[in-house]
Structure 1
Amino acid sequence: MNDIVCISPVDGSEVARRPVATGAEVAAALAQARKAQLEWSRVPLAERKAMMLAFLHEMRAQNDEIVPELAMQMGRPVRYGGELRSLEERVRALVELSDEALAPIVPTERPGFRRMIKRVPAGIVLVIAPWNYPYLTAANTIVPALLAGNAVILKHAAQTLLVGERFQAALDRVGLPEGLFRTLTLDHVVTRELIASRSVDHVNFTGSVAGGRAVERAAAGTFISLGLELGGKDPAYVRPDADFDFAVEQLVDGAFYNSGQCCCGIERVYVHERIYDSFVEAFAGLTARYRLGNPLSQDTTLGPMAATRFADTVRAHIGEAVAKGARPLIDPARFPADKIGTAYLMPQVLVGVDHSMQMMMEESFGPAVGLMKVASDQEAVALMNDSPYGLTASVWTEDAAAAERIGDGIATGTVFMNRCDYVDPALAWTGVKDTGRGVGMSRLGFEALTRPKSFHLRIEH
């Protein structure tokens, strides 16, 4: 029997080992989920909402254990307190949105008829969650799926095996029908077979472009619905009228928080030529103040990446850029914990970059960012659009009309002004090009987890 193993990036120790679910175990879970979903779909929405708030309470009760456990699994420093604050914001927002999002759509009245479109549950939702924000990314689908009356099967990433068990423990305590939510330890082969069997009704996958293509191949011909949030190479544009200090501070954080391991983290910055030199100096100066080290220490502001192979990818992107003429600004002497062959990787800022380099075109997903000088809004938009990805883009300016005008020209799912690296649960979370397809968050996210069912009732004849 195969095992899934989580190896800590902190010290190379084994954090968790779990056997891959057998075919019989998967089949039993699906049968139980199908039965539980029918029962759950008849539970009034008000009760479902109360249970999701109870789930939030149970997650809060575990947080003191979750934070160091998460640091050991994927390297985020304990000083940041885990993901509870954002989790609470999202769960409460989704609970509030559910009344409107799940209410029947009633067309213009027609005498003698009663007509409506109900949003009915999809059925069983398979959530394939990533390791980088393992609580938030999973909850983005789990919570609205359960609110909408679905059953949920969670396959969490190997790097964050224990997260699925934390979800299971919390949801088991709130009184859901037995088997409505189930965490299963699955490998890629079993996951593909599960999708291809058409035993689930919707799949939500967050991960790499290659992973998204594998999910699409597995689902081919099944006609089940898919939500795919894939790669990103999110840009920022700093106009000369931006609040300079605020833009520097926020963009440094947007590039390096979580060691840059964020789908909507800042990976490339275009700065207007009028402020470029001063911006570069300030950006590099603030970056150099990070402290790379053991994430269990309160002094550490930058932990290791989740795995050595991820750090190796970033090192390769930096090396290729430097070989092509880019110049790194951060002195390695400031970061003695950075060691080749480990997951500990210092932050790096590069100038002299261009779009012939992987650093500006391919997802690095790590603590490295390229800065480029631009002469106009038009040049910035053209460069931001010169990407295979399109998740978010941010514009830094004091002119809201300009930000909206510039945003209209950017091929992206979300446009920020004076903000970055954030998911607003009231707005649609979506992307274009290789970033994937489908929608999460907002009332539109509920639509992906339900299906429309029309009622055309003749009440007079």
Structure 2
Amino acid sequence: MSKMIHCISPVDGRVYAERPTLTLAEAEAAVTRAGAAQHEWAGRPLDERIALVKAGVAKLGDKKDVIVEELAWQMGRPTRYGGELGGVNERTDYMAGIAAEALAPMVAENSNLFERRIEREPHGIVFVVAPWNYPYLTAINTIAPALIAGNAVILKHATQTLLAGERLAEAFHAGGVPEEVFQNVVLDHDVTEDLIGQRAFGFVNFTGSVRGGQAMERAAAGTFTALGLELGGKDPGYVMDDADLDAAVDSLMDGAMYNAGQCCCGIERIYVHETLYDSFVEKAVAWVEKLKLGSPLDAATTLGPMANRRFAETVRGQIADAITDGAKALIDPKLFPEDDGGAYLAPQILVGVNHEMRVMREESFGPVVGIMPVKDDEEAIAMMNDCDYGLTASLWTADSERAARIGRRIETGTVFQNRCDYLDPALCWTGCKETGRGAALSTLGFHSVTRPKSYHLKKVTK
């Protein structure tokens, strides 16, 4: 029997959308349809698949105004920021542009005696389990290359962004991608795990919590299904003694507070060289105090509610525990009257923090950041690596060689110099430790949604 999934809006606490889940039999039928359609799709010329995928993204762009308002109601992002479609276009265009080269055979020999080559073959059906915080950007990272490479795609979107999956499916179908080749489904956890356990998919991409990633691995155990897992993060920023202080404050605080701190690669802890520490903290406080917390539908709002009341409660608990343990909160919550104990949460900067505190060790995924002074690079490296996660690290210095040298010693997936909180589609999006495993975007993103197949063709019989 199916059950109802509800999206509770963080704006006012009402049920904004609800959908019935598929039964296991209904979900299996969707997989069967995808498998039957995938072979014809993979047989189409690459240029045709690219054109249809880009047409689908263009159709998505036609719905921008509707999508922006829906995002505000579903997960709280202020409408002033205009949604995610700029990044969706950038990533799709880049992946489309490198597809021919990324998917081209690797030729070892082509002589009158032998053809020896490695081709990239689609997995068949790619299952995308997408998160709510960037429901279009994170999904397109896998959807676009998977379809371009000749896979069928089944998308399961997060409860908090139920409508995002429907909008993606509508757009791709309107652009010409066959309905069976791209399907949006609403599933509960049990049916999801059953499908994975049945080896229904050739590749599963999951973006979400560490606990969710562990559930995916358990479901896939023994099936040898390929998994891509982007899980938690606790990304650090390090401001060195030669940094451009104003630029560092502006970027790192935006990286900590944008989207109410609900960014996979958002800045959650900052280490500042002791010679710049006091100035950095003073400027950071002034930066945060200019934010306006309020309804995401208000054009003046720069900080909306968190996506769910329980997410805000987690952050409130981390802040309270830190203060109990000796940390000092620098932002007066009275400056942000919308902070009502619900999903609307005042931003916060904490000093006097240490790595014994949850707020400096556990993922916060909210508008809070702890700032610590460090005496040198060695201490900063030790602090940055003292973490269960490894997604990105943001280094602020005028010396690129110094940044690269430090970057090689940081346990992370991406090293930034003088920027943060960004995905470059030309580079591999990956992580280590409890952030997960796998690769998205870049040429390696195409390798994730395909498998190698070798051809050793002997042209003579002697």
Q: TM-score range by the shorter chain?
A: over 0.9
Structure 1 counterpart of 2:374? 374
Structure 2 counterpart of 1:418? 418
Q: Is the 8 A contact 2:233 2:363 kept in 1?
A: yes
- Greater CA deviation, 101-110 or 140-149? 101-110
Any idea what the Cα deviations from partners look like across 1:291-315, whole Å, max 9, x if unmatched? Answer: 0000000000000000000000000
- TM-superposed CA distance for 1:24, in Å, is 2.5
Residue 85, structure 1, aligned to residue 86, structure 2: yes
Judged with a 3 Å threshold, the aligned counterparts in structure 2 of structure 1 residues 278 and 423 are, in CA distance, closer, same or farther, namely same
Q: Is the 8 A contact 2:259 2:303 kept in 1?
A: yes
Structure 1 counterpart of 2:124? 123
Amino acid at match of 2:294: G
Structure 2 counterpart of 1:277? 278
RMSD of equivalent CA atoms: 0.9
CA distance in 2 between counterparts of 1:138 and 1:92 reads 15
CA distance in 1 between counterparts of 2:456 and 2:110 reads 12
Any idea what the Cα deviations from partners look like across 1:418-442, whole Å, max 9, x if unmatched? Answer: 0100011110000010000111111
CA distance in 2 between counterparts of 1:57 and 1:158 reads 25
CA distance in 1 between counterparts of 2:57 and 2:191 reads 30
Structure 1 counterpart of 2:136? 135
CA distance in 2 between counterparts of 1:155 and 1:439 reads 20
CA distance in 2 between counterparts of 1:315 and 1:93 reads 40
CA distance in 1 between counterparts of 2:271 and 2:178 reads 51
Structure 2 counterpart of 1:391? 391
Structure 2 counterpart of 1:405? 405
The normalised TM-score by structure 2 is: 0.98
Amino acid at match of 2:233: G
CA distance in 2 between counterparts of 1:109 and 1:241 reads 54
Structure 2 counterpart of 1:254? 255
Q: Is the 8 A contact 2:56 2:177 kept in 1?
A: no
Q: Is the 8 A contact 1:385 1:411 kept in 2?
A: yes
Structure 2 counterpart of 1:171? 172
Any idea what the Cα deviations from partners look like across 1:76-110, whole Å, max 9, x if unmatched? Answer: 00000000111111111111121111111112556
Q: Is the 8 A contact 1:208 1:231 kept in 2?
A: yes
Residue 326, structure 1, aligned to residue 342, structure 2: no
Structure 2 counterpart of 1:439? 439
Structure 1 counterpart of 2:115? 114
**SS at the partner of 2:337?**
coil
| Structural mapping, 1:109-258, within 5 Å | 112-258=113-259
CA distance in 2 between counterparts of 1:431 and 1:24 reads 35
Structure 1 counterpart of 2:18? 17
Amino acid at match of 1:350: L
Consecutive unaligned residues of structure 1, counting only runs of 5 or more, are none
Structure 1 counterpart of 2:267? 266
CA distance in 2 between counterparts of 1:178 and 1:423 reads 29
Structure 2 counterpart of 1:363? 363
Q: Is the 8 A contact 2:235 2:266 kept in 1?
A: yes
Any idea what the Cα deviations from partners look like across 1:137-190, whole Å, max 9, x if unmatched? Answer: 111111100011000100000000000000110011122234001000001111
Structure 2 counterpart of 1:37? 38
Judged with a 3 Å threshold, the aligned counterparts in structure 2 of structure 1 residues 352 and 269 are, in CA distance, closer, same or farther, namely same
Amino acid at match of 1:8: S
CA distance in 1 between counterparts of 2:297 and 2:207 reads 27
Instruction: Figure out how many residues of one structure are paired with residues of the other and give that number.
Output: 460
Q: Is the 8 A contact 2:57 2:172 kept in 1?
A: no
CA distance in 2 between counterparts of 1:385 and 1:398 reads 22
**SS at the partner of 1:245?**
helix
CA distance in 1 between counterparts of 2:217 and 2:27 reads 21
CA distance in 2 between counterparts of 1:237 and 1:287 reads 19
Amino acid at match of 1:407: G
Q: Is the 8 A contact 2:360 2:370 kept in 1?
A: yes
Structure 2 counterpart of 1:314? 315
CA distance in 1 between counterparts of 2:65 and 2:333 reads 34
Any idea what the Cα deviations from partners look like across 1:20-68, whole Å, max 9, x if unmatched? Answer: 1122321221111001100001011111111121012101100010001
Amino acid at match of 2:277: Y
**SS at the partner of 2:106?**
coil
CA distance in 1 between counterparts of 2:70 and 2:403 reads 40
CA distance in 2 between counterparts of 1:263 and 1:213 reads 18
CA distance in 1 between counterparts of 2:58 and 2:174 reads 10
Amino acid at match of 2:408: D
Structure 2 counterpart of 1:345? 345
CA distance in 2 between counterparts of 1:450 and 1:395 reads 34
Any idea what the Cα deviations from partners look like across 1:245-294, whole Å, max 9, x if unmatched? Answer: 11110111000000000110000000000110000000111011100000
- TM-superposed CA distance for 1:244, in Å, is 1.1
Q: Is the 8 A contact 1:36 1:178 kept in 2?
A: no
CA distance in 1 between counterparts of 2:403 and 2:110 reads 41
Q: Is the 8 A contact 2:55 2:176 kept in 1?
A: no
4+ residue runs of structure 1 moved beyond 3 angstroms?
Answer: 108-111
Q: Is the 8 A contact 1:39 1:177 kept in 2?
A: no
**SS at the partner of 1:173?**
helix
Q: Is the 8 A contact 2:109 2:115 kept in 1?
A: no
CA distance in 1 between counterparts of 2:298 and 2:164 reads 21
- TM-superposed CA distance for 1:382, in Å, is 0.6
Q: Is the 8 A contact 1:339 1:345 kept in 2?
A: yes
Q: Is the 8 A contact 1:127 1:153 kept in 2?
A: yes
Judged with a 3 Å threshold, the aligned counterparts in structure 2 of structure 1 residues 386 and 67 are, in CA distance, closer, same or farther, namely same
CA distance in 1 between counterparts of 2:112 and 2:42 reads 31
Structure 1 counterpart of 2:460? 460
Amino acid at match of 1:142: I
**SS at the partner of 2:350?**
strand
CA distance in 2 between counterparts of 1:13 and 1:245 reads 41
Structure 1 counterpart of 2:337? 336
**Overall identity of the aligned pairs, in %:** 59
- TM-superposed CA distance for 1:240, in Å, is 1.4
Q: Is the 8 A contact 2:239 2:397 kept in 1?
A: yes
Q: Is the 8 A contact 1:32 1:178 kept in 2?
A: no
Amino acid at match of 2:370: G
- TM-superposed CA distance for 1:333, in Å, is 1.4
The normalised TM-score by structure 1 is: 0.99
Q: Is the 8 A contact 1:425 1:441 kept in 2?
A: yes
CA distance in 2 between counterparts of 1:236 and 1:309 reads 27
CA distance in 2 between counterparts of 1:202 and 1:162 reads 24
- Greater CA deviation, 100-109 or 239-248? 100-109
